[in-house]
């Protein structure tokens, strides 16, 4: 049976005992839940029961990453949105459709892409009948990070693309500024190539059609630069560099 959607009218959750170590509650981080068998299937199954931060109470379900273990590129967003929370899949809402379009326009191979989020539960606040997105805080990002690291360790991609400031700062460092450093691939401990760029939802929020078109072009251009760097890496004309600091 699919999980029941949490809605703004829901009464507060009843008091319950805290600290179930099997669900990561006591630790405040998902580390104790990471299975020794680090396959994506085992990770997904374990993450479904995660309670390492309080977001599990608000979200309908854990929304884990999706794609092949053999993926060359991992896209990392911030967190699932309203639609993703209901359907249980990442990037299935309007921002996901825009991302799919940008991937196709940039000429990246869709089947070699894995898509996930920094935080795996939807954080929201009620505004009337609506569920409005809220940015995850540092504790929530820290608690959830082991899932992302485990996904990257299972896949060992050639490239990681951080979509928006939350993903970029979680993986590329707190000092990373998407506005200044977007679209430049560099080496990290997570992958030979990593790049920060905007989150597609920011394009949807552009004030008018002209601004939206310009933002979309810049986004596709970032992904084209990544494709060129990937091609160089595959040809071996760009040696896999050691981890370096962002430019
Ligand atoms: S957001 Fe991450 S750490 Fe928090 S409960 Fe969900 S899966 Fe666990």
**Could you tell me the distance, in angstroms and rounded to a whole number, from the CA of residue 52 to the centre of ligand 1?**
5
Q: What pLDDT does 237 receive?
A: 62
Name the residue of 54, 140, 145 whose CB sits within 8 Å of the most ligand 1 atoms, as the mutation to test its pocket.
140
**Could you tell me the distance, in angstroms and rounded to a whole number, from the CA of residue 26 to the centre of ligand 1?**
13
55 lines ligand 1 (CB under 6 A): yes
Residue 31 inside a domain? The answer is no
pTM of the shown model: 0.89
pLDDT digits (tens, 9 = 90+) for 113-140: 999 999 999 999 999 999 999 999 999 9
**Could you tell me the distance, in angstroms and rounded to a whole number, from the CA of residue 233 to the centre of ligand 1?**
34
Q: What pLDDT does 240 receive?
A: 46
Looking at ligand 1, which residue's alpha carbon is closest to its atom 4? 53
Q: Which CATH number covers residue 216? A: 3.40.470.10
Atom number in ligand 1 closest to CA 30: 3
Residue 35 inside a domain? The answer is no
Residue 241 inside a domain? The answer is no
Name the residue of 21, 60, 120, 138 whose CB sits within 8 Å of the most ligand 1 atoms, as the mutation to test its pocket.
120
> Residue 56 corresponds to which tokens in the numbers above?
């599990």
pLDDT over 80 (residue 110) = yes
pLDDT over 60 (residue 238) = no
pLDDT digits (tens, 9 = 90+) for 32-81: 999 999 999 999 999 999 999 999 999 999 999 999 999 999 999 999 99
- Whether the Cβ atoms of residue 211 and residue 186 lie closer than 8 Å to each other: no
> Percentage of the chain surpassing pLDDT 70?
85
121 lines ligand 1 (CB under 6 A): yes
Q: What pLDDT does 169 receive?
A: 94
Mean pLDDT of the chain: 90
* Structural domain containing residue 181: 66-234
- Whether the Cβ atoms of residue 90 and residue 116 lie closer than 8 Å to each other: yes
Q: What pLDDT does 242 receive?
A: 43
Atom number in ligand 1 closest to CA 79: 1
Residue 110 DSSP class = G
Residue 217 inside a domain? The answer is yes
229 lines ligand 1 (CB under 6 A): no
Residue 243 inside a domain? The answer is no
Q: What pLDDT does 243 receive?
A: 43
Looking at ligand 1, which residue's alpha carbon is closest to its atom 2? 144
CA dihedral 66, 113, 175, 190 (to 10 degrees): 90
Residue 61 inside a domain? The answer is no
Q: What pLDDT does 236 receive?
A: 81
> Span 203-218, mean pLDDT?
98
- Give the total number of structural domains in the chain: 1
Cα–Cα separations (whole angstroms), residue 144 to 40, 135, 137: 16, 14, 11
Beta strands 73-77 and 130-133 are unpaired
Residue 15 inside a domain? The answer is no
pLDDT over 90 (residue 10) = no
pLDDT over 70 (residue 24) = no
Residue where the block lists tokens 């009948």:
129
pLDDT over 60 (residue 244) = no
pLDDT over 50 (residue 15) = no
> Percentage of the chain surpassing pLDDT 90?
82
pLDDT digits (tens, 9 = 90+) for 224-237: 999 999 999 988 86
SS3 of residue 160 by DSSP? strand
**Could you tell me the distance, in angstroms and rounded to a whole number, from the CA of residue 168 to the centre of ligand 1?**
18
> Span 182-203, mean pLDDT?
96
Residue 225 inside a domain? The answer is yes
């Amino acid at each position: 049976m699919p999980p029941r959607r949490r809605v703004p009218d829901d009464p507060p959750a009843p008091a319950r005992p805290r600290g179930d170590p099997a669900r990561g509650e006591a630790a405040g981080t998902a580390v104790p839940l990471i299975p020794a068998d680090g396959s994506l299937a085992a990770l997904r199954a374990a993450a479904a029961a995660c309670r390492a931060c309080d977001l599990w109470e608000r979200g309908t379900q854990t929304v884990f990453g999706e794609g092949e273990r053999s993926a060359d590129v991992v896209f990392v967003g911030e967190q699932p949105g309203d639609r993703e929370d209901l359907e249980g899949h990442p990037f299935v809402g309007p921002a996901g459709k825009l991302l799919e379009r940008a991937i196709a326009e940039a000429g990246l191979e869709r089947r070699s892409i894995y898509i996930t989020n920094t935080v795996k539960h939807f954080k929201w606040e009620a505004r009337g009948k609506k569920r409005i997105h809220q940015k995850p805080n540092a504790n929530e990002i820290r608690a959830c990070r082991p899932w992302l690291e485990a996904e990257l360790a299972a896949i060992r991609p050639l490239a990681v693309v951080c979509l928006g400031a939350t993903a970029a700062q979680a993986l590329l460092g707190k000092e990373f500024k998407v506005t200044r450093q977007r679209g430049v691939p560099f080496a990290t401990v997570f992958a030979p190539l990593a790049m920060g760029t905007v989150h597609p939802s920011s394009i949807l929020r552009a004030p008018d059609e002209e601004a939206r078109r310009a933002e979309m072009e810049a986004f596709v251009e970032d992904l084209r630069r990544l494709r060129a760097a990937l091609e160089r890496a595959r040809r071996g004309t760009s040696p896999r560099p050691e981890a370096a600091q962002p430019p």
